[in-house]
Amino acid sequence: MRIILYLSVAVIAIAFLILVLYLAKTLKSLQSTLDSVSQTLSGLESQLQGVTQETAQLLHKTNTLAENIQKKSENLDSVFVAVKNVGTSIQGFNSTLQKVSAKAQNKLEHNEDKIAQIIQWSNAIMELRDRWKNKNAYVEQTNAGGIEVQAQASDNLPKKRFLRSRY
């Protein structure tokens, strides 16, 4: 019985040794897996830090660009206000010009008969003046020279001037 006991202890010791060997092998495999995971996480951490820095720089540039656009937009607002004021001024000028033009047209239409009458009188006076000049020239030439002068004087008769009516 003793031998059985020693044999049993030996079998238990061998079984325990096999168990320890397999457990050591499993733990070594687990160790290499954990080392690989640790290296992967280290690489990932460094890459993540690089991405984080680039993201921070990009965010900073985006904020700077947004501020720049805001300033330029505010500057353009004053330009648009100035253009609007110029447009308003031009509209006012056009309105005033139309009113003045309408008043001038009304006065012209109102005084059209008077203007036509003044033009007729001025044409009549000019015709009388031309006749008087021709008569004086004819008298001077007849005193100086004869029949040839008479033919030239008939060519110098006054020509009637006509007023074009706007009716």
Which of 78, 104, 133 finishes a domain? 78
User: Which of 78, 99, 121 is a domain's end point?
Assistant: 78
pTM for the model stands at 0.38
Residue 74 pLDDT:
84
Give the whole-angstrom CA distance, residue 4 versus residue 11: 10
Cα four-point dihedral sign 87, 89, 92, 97: negative
Last residue of a domain, one of 61, 78, 95: 78
Domain of 43? 2-78
Looking at residue 14, its pLDDT comes to 95
Residue 167: per-residue pLDDT: 44
Listed as ranges, residues in the chain with pLDDT below 50 are 147, 149-151, 153, 165-167
pLDDT at 40: 92
What Å distances lie between residue 100 and 91, 95, 111, 112, 146, CA to CA? 14, 9, 16, 18, 61
Instruction: With beta carbons less than 8 A apart as the criterion, state whether 54 and 47 touch.
Output: no
